[in-house]
Structure formats: C-alpha cells, structure tokens
C-alpha cells in the first residue's frame, strides 16, 4: 500500500483549502480505531473530512458518509465536546517540508484560533492531537509515554512539541543543476536511493515515478547516466517543484498505486518511442485528489480487512466443525453400541428358558435360537450362576436402551449445529477474494451472525449498519428474468421471506449447504426450461458442491418454504419441490 507522502499531502490540503474553508464543524464521528470523520458545512454544501492516523494509510481527505452505528470511541467524544459548532478557518502545514497539518478552529472566520487539531501524517508514527490556545495537549488519538519515546512523549496536559526536524537538504527550484547533480552523485549508488537520502520531502513512489518519466531505470547506478539523461531527470525534478509551488496537480491511478503529479512533461514525451504507451499507465479520466485518495485507501484497507476477517472466520468455523464432528462421531458410536440392546435381551430370555443346561464353571453356553433353532453362543461370568448372568444381560439391555433415548436427541442437536455451520462455511467458501465493498459487508454480516449465535465472543464489537442496503448477487436468465442469490444467511432469510413474491420460484441445492436463489417472475409470465436450468446452475455454483460436475437442485414456490420454530438463520424446510440437475461449471459468476 502506497503511503501518503509530502507531495500527496500538499496536494490534498491545497484542494481542501480551496473547497472547504471556511466551514462549520457540525459533527465528529470515529469510523474505527484509526479514523475520525469531521462533518463540515460550507455555503456550498455539506461533507465529511476523514483524518486518519492509520500506520500504513494515514491521510486527510474527503470521505463517504459514516454508517449509522453508534460511536463509542472516547477520542471522538472529546473532539465533539470541544469543537462542535466552531468554524474550521485554516488547514496549514506547521513548517516547510513537514507532513504535519494544523487544522485551526475559531468561533467564527477572521477570529483567532481557539483550538488546534494537529494531524501528523508520518507513517507508523502518525497521530492526531488536539491542543488549546496555550499549546497544551487536551486529547490525542494515542498517547506516547516517556518509556515508549524519550525523544518526544505525547501526554495530555503536557505542551505539544513538533516532531524532530528533518536534517536532509530542502529541495529548491533555484538550485542549479550542477549542484543538484553533484549532491546526488557524490557517492555512487542506485539512482533512487541517492535521491531519497539526499533530500527531504521525497518518497519511494514519487522518486520512481520521476525517474521513470525520464525513461530511466530507478535501480541503475548514478555513474551510468550520461549528460542528456541527467538533463532529462533534472527537468522532472523541476517539474515536480513547479507543481508544488503553483499547486498544479493531476491525480491518477498507476500500476503501482497512484500519483498526483502529471509526469507527462514535454521532454519526456519527446523521448518516448512512438509505439510506447504512456508512462505510469495513467488513467485517461483522472479523479479529484479527494476522490482518488478516498477510493484508493478505502479499497486497500477493505481488501486488507477482508483477508484478515475471512481468515479469522475460516479458522473459527474449522475449529467449531472439527469439535462438533468429533462429538457427533462419539454419539454415533454410542448409538451403535445401544443397537445391541435387543441382542442382550434375547440372550437373557434364551438363558432363562434353558437354566437346566447351565453348569458351574462354564465360560459360555450354546443354546438353540427360539425362531431359527441355530446355536447361539452366550458369554457367561464364572462368578455368577445362570439367573445372575441373565439378570446382568437384562440390566445391560436397559442401560443401552436408556442411552439410546438420551443420545438420539443429543446427536440430532449436534447434527443441526453442523448443518448450520456448514451453511455458514459454504457462504464463506464462495468469498475467495475481495472484489468490492459488498464482499466485506457480507463477511461483516457473517461475523455478526456468529456473534449473535454465541459462536464468537468479541468484547469491543460494533454491530453493522442495520440500514445498509443488501447487495444480493444479481443475474439475468436467458428469458430476461432477474435472478437474485443471497450472499449469507441473513440475506438468504431476507430473500426468501421478505423479497420473494407469489409468482417467483425458489431454488436451493438438495441437502447441500448453499445460497438461496430466487427467480423473479411477473404475473402472467412463465419460466422456460432454459431459465430453470440457468437458475439451477447458479444455485449449484453458490453452494458447497460448486466444484462438482452435477448437483441436485430443488425448486418450489416461496409459499412452500418455511422456517421451523427456533431454527437458526438461513435454515428452512420446504415441500412440493421438484428437482433439476445444476451444472456449476457452466455458471458464469
């Protein structure tokens, strides 16, 4: 993930100053452990500014509206208490080439600032700190004790100190090329490394973009550059400084991440071969800097969170299912043993009917069966007589009979849990990779479901937004009918019992965990065989048997689908069903 560097921060703040100053602060909402959103209102409109101190995604930019989930974070409550109703009058760097921004709040525009909200966008040490006019820290995103840092502790009630000053040379547009070239090439080394360690305000992403715009290799040695190549690179350097000075930025996504500088300078264009594509694979329709930063970091963080959450849920489900299957096997073994209960009773009856054939010291006795007259061997206890051996067999019969009565409902309950968790697992297996925010929402709903069902315990858990729109999988059948498929148990229940109409057709794999599918039909329309086959193929694809050649899929009217009393989410029974064989390999998901 590409971090926000000095150039990106300068570009973002330049755009924010032009569009959001002055503005009234109406609300503060903390999205997560690393991000607060400030609701601002100007004469032109209202919006949310995200200020994040995330270790790898610290930033400040316009963000989306927060979800309708209660904010329980202390930091945002303190900001809300001190800053609500005040005017944001300045967004300024604290000093040149520093990635620390001072957001100043006053009673109204033109008056002295009452509060300073310092956003330190400095990688893993990023922080957000609120101070009053006396420069004392009132609150901060995370405090730094003297034990954690003897150089710069950050504690409430203590004076705010700026980060240690940078020691590298400051870039300057008036520096001549020979002095600039001498500084970079004094000690031979890789071009990108020498640039990075000799000047402040640079980042790896910026340097690589600059060097590539000059058609050079970032890893080549400074000794290998000829005068024309040095001239080309210096033009790129000047182009970057001019963009900073004039606040002329052009945001775009690249193959490596993003850039806010238009590196297509005239000299670079002339040096390109005619058949070569544009450097950095820039997009033809660049977004604003705010939209670029918001979309890029939202997608990157969502993908990171998706991978972590999916791994957590997979591990939990695997552990739960392993324990339940072991318990089920134990119950099945006990039931197999209880199946011998009738055998013990028949042996006891046979022994009681033939007491005269028993003799002291016998270890076993062979007696003819009542019905088949075949010999039956009955093991005996040497210390007991025939009657006592028969009574022992009767007791064992009663014990095993009682065990069966006790174990059968236990096995049924465990099997019901296994079926439910396999249904959850099936939804998780379909979510192999992150594609969009709906995938992350689906995982969050699965996690919330497991918490509600007491399978997960999360002390600091925040529930998902109940008002968030449900994103079903949507497809179109050959005849043009809409096919909806649930992504998880919550969506399955919503689809089957809230969305389904009288004319629709409901699909589900036969006795195989999978998603509910609904083929939407209008009054007077009839689904053709191709439509039913298409829906069956998709239902089979979104099931645990998605890698099979053929999968039995049932379909029926939604009014014939029921949820038993006390059933877990997604679990239903149905009747008047028909079967069609789904082909998951033909599904075009």
What is the per-residue pLDDT for 128? 97
Name the residue with higher pLDDT: 458 or 237: 237
Residue recorded with tokens 């009747």: 575
pLDDT > 70: percent of the chain: 94
Mean pLDDT computed over 207-219: 92
- For residue 265, name the pLDDT band (cuts at 50, 70, 90): very low
H-only helix segments in 284-383:
289-338, 341-353
Other C-beta atoms closer than 10 Å to the C-beta of 286 total 18
What is the per-residue pLDDT for 588? 61
Residue recorded with tokens 């089957």: 496
CB of 431 within 8 A of CB of 313?
no
What is the per-residue pLDDT for 272? 38
Mean pLDDT lowest for which of 164-178, 211-225, 390-404? 390-404
Strand duo 364-368 + 473-476: pairing: unpaired
What is the per-residue pLDDT for 370? 85
The yes-or-no verdict on residue 46 having pLDDT over 80 is yes
Question: Which residues fall within 8 angstroms of residue 194, CB to CB, at 6 or more apart?
Answer: 184, 185, 187, 222
Residue 446 in 3-state DSSP? helix
Residue 468 in 3-state DSSP? coil
Mean pLDDT computed over 313-318: 95
Name the residue with higher pLDDT: 345 or 83: 83
Mean pLDDT computed over 37-52: 95
What is the per-residue pLDDT for 457? 86
The yes-or-no verdict on residue 201 having pLDDT over 80 is yes
State both tokens at 425: 């697992």
The yes-or-no verdict on residue 27 having pLDDT over 90 is yes
* Burial profile 147-181: b = 16 or more Cβ within 10 angstroms, e = fewer: eeeeeeebeeeeebeebeebeeeebeeebeeeebb
Distance separating alpha carbons of residues 487 and 494, to the nearest angstrom: 11
Mean pLDDT computed over 344-369: 86
What is the per-residue pLDDT for 168? 86
* SS3 labels along 182-236: HHHHCCCCEHHHHHHHHECCCCHHHHHHHHHHCCCCCCCEHHHCCHHHHHHHHHH
pLDDT digits (tens, 9 = 90+) for 523-562: 989 999 999 999 999 999 999 999 999 999 999 999 999 9
> Cα–chain-centroid distance for residue 344?
57
Strands (E), 126-196: 127-132, 137-140
The yes-or-no verdict on residue 589 having pLDDT over 70 is no
What is the per-residue pLDDT for 472? 93
Mean pLDDT computed over 62-66: 93
Name the residue with higher pLDDT: 148 or 62: 62
Distance separating alpha carbons of residues 269 and 279, to the nearest angstrom: 9
Which among 218, 197, 200, 220 is positioned nearest to 209, based on CA atoms?
218
pLDDT digits (tens, 9 = 90+) for 123-139: 999 999 999 999 999 99
Which among 22, 562, 469, 4 is positioned nearest to 257, based on CA atoms?
4
Which among 401, 394, 395, 396 is positioned nearest to 335, based on CA atoms?
401
The C-alpha angle with vertex 442 and arms to 438 and 447, in degrees rounded to 5, equals: 145
Mean pLDDT computed over 3-12: 96
What is the per-residue pLDDT for 13? 96
Q: Which long-range contacts (CB under 8 A, 24 or more apart) does 201-206 make?
A: 201/5, 201/6, 201/7, 201/97, 201/170, 201/171, 202/5, 202/6, 202/171, 203/3, 203/5, 203/6, 203/7, 205/2, 205/3, 205/5, 205/256, 205/257, 205/259, 206/5, 206/7, 206/240, 206/259, 206/261
The yes-or-no verdict on residue 277 having pLDDT over 50 is no
Mean residue pLDDT across the chain: 89
CB of 492 within 8 A of CB of 515?
yes
Mean pLDDT computed over 294-312: 94
The C-alpha angle with vertex 47 and arms to 42 and 48, in degrees rounded to 5, equals: 125
Question: Which residues fall within 8 angstroms of residue 15, CB to CB, at 6 or more apart?
Answer: 249, 288, 289, 290
Distance separating alpha carbons of residues 489 and 569, to the nearest angstrom: 5
CB of 109 within 8 A of CB of 175?
no
The yes-or-no verdict on residue 206 having pLDDT over 90 is yes
- For residue 300, name the pLDDT band (cuts at 50, 70, 90): very high
pLDDT digits (tens, 9 = 90+) for 376-394: 888 898 888 989 988 888 8
Mean pLDDT lowest for which of 59-68, 132-141, 160-169, 578-587? 160-169
The yes-or-no verdict on residue 35 having pLDDT over 90 is yes
What is the per-residue pLDDT for 394? 84
Distance from first CA to last CA of the chain, Å, rounded?
Answer: 29
39-53, 389-403, 461-475: which is most confident: 39-53
What is the per-residue pLDDT for 466? 66
Name the residue with higher pLDDT: 101 or 148: 101
Question: Which residues fall within 8 angstroms of residue 575, CB to CB, at 6 or more apart?
Answer: 556, 560
For residue 423, give the H/E element and its range. helix 386-430
- For residue 295, name the pLDDT band (cuts at 50, 70, 90): very high
Name the residue with higher pLDDT: 263 or 113: 113
CB of 496 within 8 A of CB of 505?
no
Mean pLDDT lowest for which of 78-82, 273-277, 287-291? 273-277
The yes-or-no verdict on residue 279 having pLDDT over 50 is no
Mean pLDDT lowest for which of 61-70, 151-160, 462-471, 544-553? 462-471
What is the per-residue pLDDT for 283? 41
- For residue 286, name the pLDDT band (cuts at 50, 70, 90): low
Which among 313, 554, 571 is positioned nearest to 418, based on CA atoms?
571
CB of 111 within 8 A of CB of 101?
no
pLDDT digits (tens, 9 = 90+) for 430-457: 898 999 889 999 999 999 999 999 999 8
Please count the CA atoms within 13 angstroms of the CA of 3 that sit on its side-chain side. 18
Residue 332 in 3-state DSSP? helix
Mean pLDDT computed over 578-583: 95
For residue 377, give the H/E element and its range. strand 375-379
Q: Does CATH number 2.30.310.10 belong to domain 6-140?
A: yes
The residues that bridge with 252 in the sheet, in sequence order, are 259
Name the residue with higher pLDDT: 572 or 404: 572
Other C-beta atoms closer than 10 Å to the C-beta of 514 total 31
pLDDT > 90: percent of the chain: 70
């Amino acid at each position: 993930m590409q971090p926000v560097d000095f150039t990106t921060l300068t570009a973002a703040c330049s755009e924010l100053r032009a569009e959001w100053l002055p503005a009234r602060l109406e609300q503060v909402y903390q999205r997560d452990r690393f991000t607060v959103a400030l609701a601002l209102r100007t004469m032109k409109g209202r919006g949310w500014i995200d200020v994040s101190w995330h270790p790898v995604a610290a930033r400040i930019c316009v963000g989306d509206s927060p979800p309708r989930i209660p904010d329980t974070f202390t930091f945002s409550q303190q900001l809300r208490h001190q800053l609500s109703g005040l005017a944001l009058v300045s967004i300024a760097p604290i000093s040149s080439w520093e990635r620390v921004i001072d957001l100043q709040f006053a009673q109204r525009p033109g008056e002295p600032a009452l509060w300073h909200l310092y956003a330190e966008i400095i990688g893993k040490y990023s922080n957000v700190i609120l101070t009053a006019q006396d420069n004392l820290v009132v609150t901060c995103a995370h405090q730094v004790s003297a034990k954690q840092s003897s150089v710069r502790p950050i504690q409430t009630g203590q004076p705010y100190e700026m980060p240690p000053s940078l020691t590298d040379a400051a870039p300057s547009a008036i520096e001549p090329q020979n002095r600039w070239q001498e500084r970079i090439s004094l000690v031979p080394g890789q071009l990108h490394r020498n640039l990075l360690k000799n000047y402040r305000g640079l980042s790896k992403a910026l340097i690589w973009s600059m060097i590539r715009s000059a058609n050079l290799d970032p890893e080549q040695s400074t000794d290998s550059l000829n005068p024309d190549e040095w001239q080309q690179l210096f033009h790129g350097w000047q182009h970057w400084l001019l963009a900073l000075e004039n606040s002329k930025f052009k945001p775009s996504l690249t193959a490596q991440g993003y850039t806010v500088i238009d590196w297509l300078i005239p000299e670079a264009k002339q040096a390109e071969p005619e058949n070569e594509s544009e450097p950095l694979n820039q997009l033809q329709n660049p977004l604003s800097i705010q939209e670029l930063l918001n979309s890029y970091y939202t997608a990157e963080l969502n993908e990171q969170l998706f991978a972590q959450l999916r791994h957590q849920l997979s591990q939990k489900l695997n552990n739960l299912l392993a324990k339940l299957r072991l318990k089920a096997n134990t119950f099945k073994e006990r039931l197999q043993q209880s199946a011998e209960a009738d055998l013990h009773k028949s042996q006891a009856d046979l022994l009681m009917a033939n007491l005269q054939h028993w003799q002291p010291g016998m270890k076993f006795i062979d007696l003819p069966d009542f019905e088949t007259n075949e010999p039956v061997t009955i093991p005996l206890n040497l210390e007991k007589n025939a009657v006592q051996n028969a009574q022992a067999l009767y007791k064992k019969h009663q014990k095993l009979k009682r065990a069966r009565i006790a174990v059968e409902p236990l096995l049924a309950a465990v099997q019901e849990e296994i079926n439910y968790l396999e249904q959850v697992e099936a939804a998780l297996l379909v979510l192999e990779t992150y594609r969009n925010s709906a995938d992350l929402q689906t995982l969050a709903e699965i996690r919330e479901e497991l918490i509600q069902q007491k399978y997960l315990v999360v002390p600091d858990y925040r529930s998902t937004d109940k008002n968030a729109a449900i994103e079903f999988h949507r497809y179109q059948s050959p005849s043009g009918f809409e096919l909806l498929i649930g992504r998880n148990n919550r969506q399955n229940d919503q689809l089957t019992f809230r969305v389904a109409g009288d004319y629709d057709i409901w699909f589900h794999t036969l006795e195989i965990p999978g998603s509910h599918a609904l083929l939407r039909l209008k009054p007077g329309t009839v689904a053709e065989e191709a439509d039913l086959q298409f829906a069956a193929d998709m239902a089979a694809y979104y099931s645990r048997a998605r890698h099979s050649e053929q999968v039995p899929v049932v379909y029926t009217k939604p009014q014939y689908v029921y949820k038993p009393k006390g059933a877990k989410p997604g679990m239903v029974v149905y009747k008047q069903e028909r079967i069609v064989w789904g082909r998951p390999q033909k599904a075009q998901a």
